[in-house]
Structure 1
């Protein structure tokens, strides 16, 4: 349902050209030029033209491919600093922290993805530290990749291998 104020506004906009008044110009007793919409003795009627307008310029979106520096960006160095390659974790409850150092620093548009035993582990994120919990005993391999906002890999660490050793519960006493 259209409300009364909306109808009044629409009618006012439609009728504006019809309501345009004539404009008169004259000089008063003090020598000032006066413009009015009421005819005065000795006033000159002016022919008022519409105000010239210029259409808005819509900027074009640059669809050119990325510059070579953006297209070829990669991290100079990505190194897993925790755990060390070949490191053994004994009776730690199966918790391991993976931490990566990279150069240059992580760009605002990039994220890091942990790959654990050949598969992506969790979602890519902006932090350089990953927590692995409740790991059973055994050998594990991990590496970290930097992913840009288009999903392209722009850096990758070497794979580190580490070992988790946990006590067997209920095993024979020695």
Structure 2
């Protein structure tokens, strides 16, 4: 019990105050911040922070020091292409094909990089994708269509895109083709517009010139 006041004094001292310890004449261990003169006292290291201030009230908790946010490495800028163009067909070109077929060819500068791919859009719908710059199309309807070419990164990001480029498709009928290019003797059964069932009967040879 005699040591209790000294221990309470030690607890209530500010964290900055020094604490000393000595043995009095009765052999008791005493703790104080002001040892008596002529007494050999030892400074006691304080390793904990008091929870009570000098008035006996709970001390104010200090906010934890905010941790330094991790350094974020800036993302590399995406690769940029200098040029992407639809080479075939040319802008506003008229394509004539009975079956509605068309070969679309693209060109880029620089050439396609590893992990990238081309994508072709026909009338706002995907018509093909891959690393080849050549796209065969078939079954196209007559009329005007729009082509758009894109270059995609591996994650699907569009790196380059062409403006919409129109072309016009004409699918002439067989009758129109026969009129433009009449069938001759060797065409029957060989050209689609010259079927054998439409071949006119051959004129019978006359023997009159030999009589």
TM bucket normalised to smaller: 0.5 to 0.7
- Corresponding residue for residue 76 of structure 1: 82
- Structure number with bigger Rg: 2
Confirm or deny: 8 A CA contact 1:83 1:160 kept in the other structure: no
Confirm or deny: 8 A CA contact 1:81 1:101 kept in the other structure: yes
Residues 116-171 of structure 1 deviation map (CA, whole Å, 9 limit, x = unaligned): 1011223x200111111111211110011000001100011232111111123679
- Corresponding residue for residue 19 of structure 2: none
Residues 91-137 of structure 1 deviation map (CA, whole Å, 9 limit, x = unaligned): 34211111111011100110001011011223x20011111111121
- Contiguous gaps of at least 5 residues in structure 1: 1-62
- Contiguous gaps of at least 5 residues in structure 2: 1-71, 180-211
Structure 2 CA distance for aligned equivalents of residues 115 and 107 of structure 1? 20
- Corresponding residue for residue 161 of structure 1: 166
Structure 1 CA distance for aligned equivalents of residues 89 and 161 of structure 2? 16
- RMSD after superposition: 2.2
- Corresponding residue for residue 58 of structure 2: none
More strand by share: 1
TM, length-normalised to structure 1: 0.55
TM, length-normalised to structure 2: 0.46
- Corresponding residue for residue 151 of structure 1: 156
The equivalences for 1:91-110 within 5 A come to: 91-110=97-116
Matched pairs, number? 107
Confirm or deny: 8 A CA contact 1:80 1:158 kept in the other structure: no
Asked which structure has the greater RCO (Cα within 8 Å, sep 6+), the reply is 1
Confirm or deny: 8 A CA contact 2:98 2:172 kept in the other structure: no
Structure 2 CA distance for aligned equivalents of residues 133 and 82 of structure 1? 15
- Corresponding residue for residue 66 of structure 1: 75
